[in-house]
Every structure is written in structure tokens, then in C-alpha cells.
Amino acid sequence: MAERDAMIKERSGICPICVEPGREHVDHDRDTGKVRGVLCFNCNSALGKLRDDPDALRRAIAYLEGNVWKPIFEAPGVYQLPS
């Protein structure tokens, strides 16, 4: 609890992703269990739904910016992402 409270105080209760105040949720690495920081519920949930996958997050950003990737079909069930 003290560690969480210190993280919240350090960020002034502002989520480092959406830069909005909100209910604080401890964010942790799903593989190691190591605490990464404190996020709002929505941002913590979003990372979890993207399975903490940086590539999925990059694709989400590209999608939001209107740059939708189109996979290149290699073989049944195998697609290559364009570079």
C-alpha cells in the first residue's frame, strides 16, 4: 500500500498514459509480476486487453492514425506484415 501511495503521489494522481486523474490501479508485468506503475482503470484495462503486447499497441496506434495494415498472404494461416 505504501509503495502504491508513493507512486500516486509522485504522479499527482494523474495517469501517465491518458494524462487524466482517475481511480488508481496498480499495473504489473503479466510475465514477471513486477509492478510498473499506477494507471487509471481504463488505461490499465486497455494494456491488459492488448495482452501487454507492444506490437499490438503499435498496430492500434496505426489504426487510430488511419494507417491500417494489410497482411500479405504467404500460406494458409500464415501472413506477413508489410514493412
Please report whether residue 23 resides in a domain: yes
Please report whether residue 78 resides in a domain: no
Please report whether residue 74 resides in a domain: no
Segments forming the whole domain that contains residue 39: 2-69
Residues 22-79 pLDDT 10s: 888 999 998 999 999 999 999 999 999 999 999 999 989 988 998 877 778 888 888 8
Number of structural domains (the chain) is 1
Spell out the long-range contacts of 2-10 with Cβ–Cβ below 8 A and sequence spacing 24 or more.
Answer: 3/35, 4/38, 7/37, 7/38, 8/38
C-alpha span between 82 and 3 (Å, rounded): 43
pLDDT of 4 above 70: yes
Predicted TM-score (pTM) of this structure: 0.74
Please report whether residue 79 resides in a domain: no
- How many helices (DSSP H) and strands (DSSP E) are in the chain? 3, 4
Amino acid at 47: L
In this prediction, residue 22 carries a pLDDT of: 84
Name the pLDDT band for 83 (thresholds 50, 70, 90): low
Of 13 and 43, more confident: 43
C-alpha span between 82 and 10 (Å, rounded): 41
